[in-house]
Every structure is written in C-alpha cells, then in structure tokens.
A and B are shown apart, each in its own frame.
Chain A
Amino acid sequence: MFRFLVQRLLGAALILFVVFTVTFFLFFAMPDDPARLSCGKTCTPETLALIRRDLGLDASVPMQYWHYIVGVFAGRDFGSSHCSAPCLGYSFVNHEPVLDTLLDRFPATLSLALGASVIFLGGGIMIGMLAALRRGTWLDKSTMAFSLIGASVTIQFLGVIARYVLVDELRWLPKPEYLPFTDDPGGWTGGLLLPWLTLACVQAAVYARLTRASMIDALGEDHVRTVRAKGLTSRQVYFKHAWRGAITPVVTVYGIELGVLLGGAVVTETTFNIPGIGKLAVNAVANSDLPMITGVVLIAATAMVLANVAVDAVYAVIDPRVRV
C-alpha cells in the first residue's frame, strides 16, 4: 500500500510538471506585452524597462521558465522585494503575490465544493440505490426521468431561475453570497445554500444514474447471488455485499469531479458571484494577468491530480480486488 501510494505520487508529480511546463510556454507565447499591461496609462519607456526588469521579463522565455521553477522551490527576488518559496510571482494587475490571492480565494471554492458534495453524494447515491432496488417501478422511472433533466440542465440557467423563484419571489432562501465560515457560520451556510443546491441538483442527477447502473450490475454478480442463495436478508445483501461493487465507479467519478470542483466551479461561482478560484480565473483572463492565470491552472491541476491519487487509495480500501 505504501509503495503503491509513493509510486502514484511520483507519477502525479511528473504529470503536474508536464502540465505546468505546457501551461507556462503556452501563455508566455502570448503576443501582448505583459509589462505594458502592468505599466498603466501614463507609461514612459523608462518605467516600462524598469517594470520589465522587476518582473523578470527582460530574460528569454526559457530563462523566465527557469526563474519561475526556482521561485517555486527556493523563492526569488523581484526588483527590491523578495518572494519566499513557494513563489508563484506577483499579479500584473494589483501586484499582490499570486500565492496569497490563491490562498485567500481557496476557502470559498472549498466551501462550495464540500457543501455541495455532501448534498449530491448523499442524495444521488440514495436515489440511485432506491431506483436500482425498485427497478422497473414508477419510482425508478420517475427518478430516472428527473435525473435525465437534472443532468441536462445548465447551471447558469437553473441557478438564475432558482434564485428568481426561491430568493426573490418566495423569499425561502437568503441571498446567495460568500461569508467566511470563521466570521459567521450561520451566514456562511445561508449564503451558500442556493449555490450548493444548484450545483448539487445538477451533480446528483449524474450520481443517481451512475449508482443505479452499477448497483444493477453488482446485484447480478456471482458473489452477490451466492450470499442471496445462502439466505441472507435483502438488507444484508444490499448493504453488506452489493454496495461495495456499486460504489467503486461512484468513487472514481467523484474523485475526478472533486478535483475539477476544487480547481474552481467556474460557472457556479460566476453565476452566484462567489469569490473563489473559478471567479479569479475568469477575472485574470479578462485582465490578461499571466502570473495569476498560471497560478490558477497550476493549483487546479494539483487539485485534480491529487484527487486522482486519493481515488486510487480509496479504491484499494473499498474493493479488495484492486489490492495487488
């Protein structure tokens, strides 16, 4: 198990390195001069040269790449200021360290992802299991019809309609906003309730369909048939034996999804104006803020790769057949 984890982590590090390298060269291939963007309206050639030197843009692109990597592991100096490791550079727009901004925005993204996960995993798996156990009945058909619609609706549409009906018209839910948990736990829950429900509604549908399909598969497997033939009660068959087989695909899909969500649920964050990583990315792109874009892509890729490793580990725990 330990060896397996180390192997997977090394592989993950390699993939991250490749993703980072590709990202770096793609973005620094942009013809816009980043120094000019940073310089503002009243820009003299002298300040431009100064900024270029401060940002390390006077070096060649491969040298800039090298400096960036050194910065991540050992820190680097920008002009007069020192940026300690892990240094992801400074934003071209507000000149804040990229890492601080990312860390500042991460709690919002984390809150959104984890809260929604609880709802959609719980709801989706429960619906899927019920549908599989009552296969062919009206319950199965109606929940699956609902999931098809849920899986097809877009967040930007559902979110706005839900906000219009539940917040503006009926006033059942508070206005969606992000308040840090540490400041106001009640406001945090209330403000995120609608974003959670919207995201969960779309996601739960996917998990319900997936759980139903894999539960039906699992119920047909030999070992499940054996325990059934041995005379175990239905409950024991479902919840002691069949669920293991049914849950592995769910874990896989969730692992990938969690990685994506931690890199910023871009559309949800934009729709509800939640200041998370996804919103940060949209703003950074709008402002051509290169170091910020690179930072966001890097943190999102890290989240995704780590989530994949976590899935492999959880897999090994749930499914004895995977442990090799």
Chain B
Amino acid sequence: MTTLAPPTDPPVAPDPPAADTAPTGLRPSQLAWRRFRRDRTGIVAACVVAVFVVAGLGAPLFAKWYGHDPYTTYGQNRPGLLNEFGFPVAPNGGMSGEFWLGLEPGLGRDVLTQLLYGIRTSLLISLAVVAIVTVLGVLVGVTAGYLGGGADYLVGRVIDVMLSFPSTLFFIAFTPVVTSLLTHPGEQMSPLLRGAVIVAVLSAFGWASVARLLRGQVLSLRSREYVEAARVIGASPGRVVLRELLPNLVTPILVSASMAVPTYVTTEAALSYLGVGMVEPTPDWGRMLLKGAEVYRTDITYMCVPGISMLVFVVAFNLFGDSVRDALDPKSDR
C-alpha cells in the first residue's frame, strides 16, 4: 500500500523564523502540480475523466440540442424503428444519424442520452459516497489514532467488525430494508430518494477502510519530533491535529479518495444490475447492463455501449488516480 513519505519538508509552519533569508522554494502543492504536468498518461487520463464529467453534467443541455431525451419511447411511438420483435431495424442496434448510438430494444428509447444521463447517476452517487466516506473515515481514524488507548481499541474493534460484514451481500440485502423503512408499501420511491438510500448503504460500510488507513497513518505520525515538539510547547490538541497532522495526511486522503471513485461506480452498477439499485426509468449504467444481458444474443450493441463506456471511464480514473499518487508522493513506487 501507499507508504507515506517522511515529511522531509516541514509541515506548513505558521511563521518560520528566517522567512526572509531562506531560499524561496516551491510549495508542496506546486511541486506536485509540476510532477503531474510531466506525466503524460496522467494528463490524458485526466482529460478522459474530464470529458466524462462534463458529458454527465451537461447531459440535459446536450439532450436539448440533440433533440431526444432518455425517457421517450421513440421506437414505440414511431413505426419503422423497431421490428415486430421489438429490436431495432437499422444495423448496429439501430444506429443512425438521428439516434447516434441506436435505440433500446423493446422500449425503443434513445441510447446516447440514456448513457449520458447514466454517467450523471453513477458519478453523483459515487462522488457523494466518496465524500461522506472520506469525511467520516478521516474524523474517526484521526480521532482514534490521536487519542490512542481505550478509544483507539474500541474503534479498532468496530472497524474489524465492519470489515467482516460480507459487504456485497449486505448491500443487496439491506437496500430493500432501508427502502421499506422510508416508503409506505406500494408507494413509488423518487429517484433522488432511491439514490440517497444507495449512498447511505454504501457509506455505512465504506468509512471503515478509510478510518483504518488514517488511524495507522496518525499512529506513525504521532510520535514524530515535530508533533512532540508542538505538544511540548503547549499547542492545543485541535492545533496539533489541524496544523501538524492533517497537512501530512492530505496525500493518503486524496489517494484513497481518488482510488475509491471508480470502485463505487462499479459497485453502484453492480447493485443496479442485481436489481436493488436504481430502477426504471432512471437512466443508469448498471440497469442498461442488466437489460443488455437479456437481449445480448440479438442486440449486442446495447450491451457494448454501457459496458465499454464504463470500462474506459474506470481505466481512465484508475490511471488518473495512479498519477495523482505519483505526483503527491513520488517516493511510493508501484
């Protein structure tokens, strides 16, 4: 795993005694940016990720310009697009100048807009999960590591238990429980609420691994000279945590967060694929894959479109994460 580089450059000291005479150096963030700029793979990956993000967020605008939306059943409303079995008439899943990536078999909805709106669903859910998990994990991990003793022991055991839950099974088993707690029987759940349930369930388990990572890091930093020194001169615990420890934890936090995004995109897609994630008619990659797996024999295009998009996105995000790590922490070699 990522080993934190020993803090060769002292953590942002509030008022360095000889600030005027010291040679002007670059701030760590500037150094990291410089290293990142030289990493060609990282730049390309970042661009691909950016394209996906823009495409996802700009999906409604694009849909307006493109003239189709992901909900209208074009194939059913207009004769001649789908054949008698419900499959697109045009080759390659019905790709044409009007429907660039073809039509969905059966309902005849537009694939391209579904895909773009799907990015939005996956990305928003996974970003929300990563944000919650990171904040919770950092809070718990840093507190436990800093306090040590009984609190640390207790948190350690709770983390052990959390990580012993069979998480995938628990996701699929627990999502309906939360859903039924929040809705009356027979009532339809709004997509926003459903998304929130998925975020809640994924976050409930995700924080444990972040907390474990941060706790370990704090334990090793706690006994460093500069932390001891800060304590000796009477710095308050808040100051020690915020000014001495946290600046040195930025790297592991950023690295674990950037690695987690693609994982949650995949997990969210798996949940929808298993039928406990997002449901009709919310556009979602996992749901598209589920439909694609049903019709793959006749219309493999409908399977390939979300599958390949997701592959490209996850590969790009993983490469981007690798580059972020290399830029922030050049000593870790992998």
Once the chains bind, are A297 and B173 in contact (CB under 8 Å)? yes
Once the chains bind, are B169 and A286 in contact (CB under 8 Å)? no
Interface core residue of A26, A216, A303 (most chain B CB under 10 Å)? A26
Chain A residue contacts of B269, Cβ below 8 A: 154, 156
Determine the distance from Cα of A272 to Cα of B172 in the docked complex, in whole angstroms: 18
Cβ contacts A to B, 16 pairs, < 8 Å: A22-B161, A22-B165, A27-B173, A30-B177, A31-B181, A32-B185, A149-B315, A156-B289, A160-B292, A160-B307, A161-B307, A163-B296, A164-B297, A271-B293, A286-B275, A301-B165
Chain A residue contacts of B172, Cβ below 8 A: 266, 281-282, 285
A residues engaging B (CB < 8 A)?
A: 15-16, 18-19, 22, 26-27, 29-32, 148-149, 151-154, 156-157, 160-161, 163-164, 168, 213, 216, 259-260, 263-264, 266-267, 270-271, 278, 281-282, 284-286, 288, 293, 296-297, 300-301, 303-305, 308
Chain B residue contacts of A30, Cβ below 8 A: 177, 180-181
Once the chains bind, are B307 and A154 in contact (CB under 8 Å)? yes
Interfacial residues of chain B within 133-181, with CB under 8 A of chain A in the complex: 160-161, 164-166, 168-170, 172-174, 176-177, 180-181
Chain A residue contacts of B168, Cβ below 8 A: 260, 266-267
A148-B315, A296-B173, A297-B165 known, 15 other contacts, Cβ within 8 Å: A15-B160, A22-B165, A29-B177, A160-B289, A160-B303, A164-B296, A164-B303, A213-B334, A259-B166, A278-B169, A286-B275, A297-B169, A301-B164, A303-B166, A305-B164
CB distance from A43 to the nearest CB of B (A): 15
Once the chains bind, are A27 and B303 in contact (CB under 8 Å)? no
Of chain B, the residue at the smallest CB distance from A265 is: B168
Chain A residue contacts of B292, Cβ below 8 A: 160
Interfacial residues of chain B within 267-300, with CB under 8 A of chain A in the complex: 269-270, 273-276, 289-290, 292-293, 296-297, 300
A297-B297 CB under 8 A given contacts A19-B161, A157-B307, A161-B307:
no
Once the chains bind, are A154 and B289 in contact (CB under 8 Å)? yes
Q: Is B318 close to A, CB under 8 A? A: yes
Of chain A, the residue at the smallest CB distance from B265 is: A154
Q: Is B260 close to A, CB under 8 A? A: no
Q: Is B327 close to A, CB under 8 A? A: no
Residue A157 contacts which of B181, B303, B319 (CB distance < 8 angstroms)? B303
CB distance from A21 to the nearest CB of B (A): 10
Chain B residue contacts of A160, Cβ below 8 A: 289, 292-293, 296, 303, 307
Once the chains bind, are B314 and A152 in contact (CB under 8 Å)? yes
Of chain B, the residue at the smallest CB distance from A152 is: B314
A32-B180 CB under 8 A given contacts A149-B315, A154-B269:
yes
Of chain B, the residue at the smallest CB distance from A249 is: B1
Q: Is B333 close to A, CB under 8 A? A: yes
CB distance from A35 to the nearest CB of B (A): 15
A270-B273 CB under 8 A given contacts A30-B177, A213-B334:
yes
Determine the distance from Cα of A16 to Cα of B166 in the docked complex, in whole angstroms: 11
Chain A residue contacts of B251, Cβ below 8 A: none
Chain A residue contacts of B252, Cβ below 8 A: none
Determine the distance from Cα of A14 to Cα of B304 in the docked complex, in whole angstroms: 46
Q: Is B262 close to A, CB under 8 A? A: yes
Interfacial residues of chain B within 30-82, with CB under 8 A of chain A in the complex: none
Residue A216 contacts which of B176, B304, B311, B333 (CB distance < 8 angstroms)? B333
Of chain B, the residue at the smallest CB distance from A298 is: B166
Interface of B is mostly: helix
8 closest residue pairs by CB, A with B: A157-B307, A300-B166, A152-B314, A263-B166, A152-B315, A213-B334, A15-B164, A160-B293
Once the chains bind, are A281 and B169 in contact (CB under 8 Å)? yes
Residue A18 contacts which of B161, B180, B296, B334 (CB distance < 8 angstroms)? B161
Interface of A is mostly: helix
A264-B169 CB under 8 A given contacts A148-B318, A161-B303:
yes
Interface core residue of B269, B292, B333, B334 (most chain A CB under 10 Å)? B334
Of chain B, the residue at the smallest CB distance from A284 is: B173
Chain A residue contacts of B256, Cβ below 8 A: none
Q: Is B310 close to A, CB under 8 A? A: yes
Of chain B, the residue at the smallest CB distance from A158 is: B307
Once the chains bind, are B164 and A168 in contact (CB under 8 Å)? no
Chain A residue contacts of B303, Cβ below 8 A: 157, 160-161, 164
Determine the distance from Cα of A52 to Cα of B166 in the docked complex, in whole angstroms: 30
Chain A residue contacts of B274, Cβ below 8 A: 266-267, 270, 282
Chain B residue contacts of A271, Cβ below 8 A: 293
Determine the distance from Cα of A18 to Cα of B164 in the docked complex, in whole angstroms: 10
Of chain A, the residue at the smallest CB distance from B317 is: A152
Determine the distance from Cα of A176 to Cα of B21 in the docked complex, in whole angstroms: 73
Once the chains bind, are B297 and A285 in contact (CB under 8 Å)? no
CB distance from A200 to the nearest CB of B (A): 18
Residue A281 contacts which of B160, B173, B304, B310 (CB distance < 8 angstroms)? B173
Once the chains bind, are B181 and A285 in contact (CB under 8 Å)? no
Chain B residue contacts of A148, Cβ below 8 A: 315, 318-319
A152-B262 CB under 8 A given contacts A266-B172, A266-B274, A270-B273:
yes
Chain B residue contacts of A281, Cβ below 8 A: 169, 172-173
Determine the distance from Cα of A259 to Cα of B306 in the docked complex, in whole angstroms: 30
Residue A156 contacts which of B273, B297, B300, B304 (CB distance < 8 angstroms)? B273
Residue B176 contacts which of A29, A288, A308 (CB distance < 8 angstroms)? A288
Of chain B, the residue at the smallest CB distance from A260 is: B166
A19-B165 CB under 8 A given contacts A148-B319, A160-B303:
yes
CB distance from B14 to the nearest CB of A (A): 37
A296-B169 CB under 8 A given contacts A164-B300, A305-B164:
yes
Of chain A, the residue at the smallest CB distance from B333 is: A216
Once the chains bind, are B164 and A19 in contact (CB under 8 Å)? yes
CB distance from A47 to the nearest CB of B (A): 20
Once the chains bind, are B166 and A297 in contact (CB under 8 Å)? yes
Of chain B, the residue at the smallest CB distance from A262 is: B166
Once the chains bind, are B311 and A149 in contact (CB under 8 Å)? yes
Determine the distance from Cα of A281 to Cα of B315 in the docked complex, in whole angstroms: 30
Once the chains bind, are B169 and A300 in contact (CB under 8 Å)? yes
Chain A residue contacts of B262, Cβ below 8 A: 152
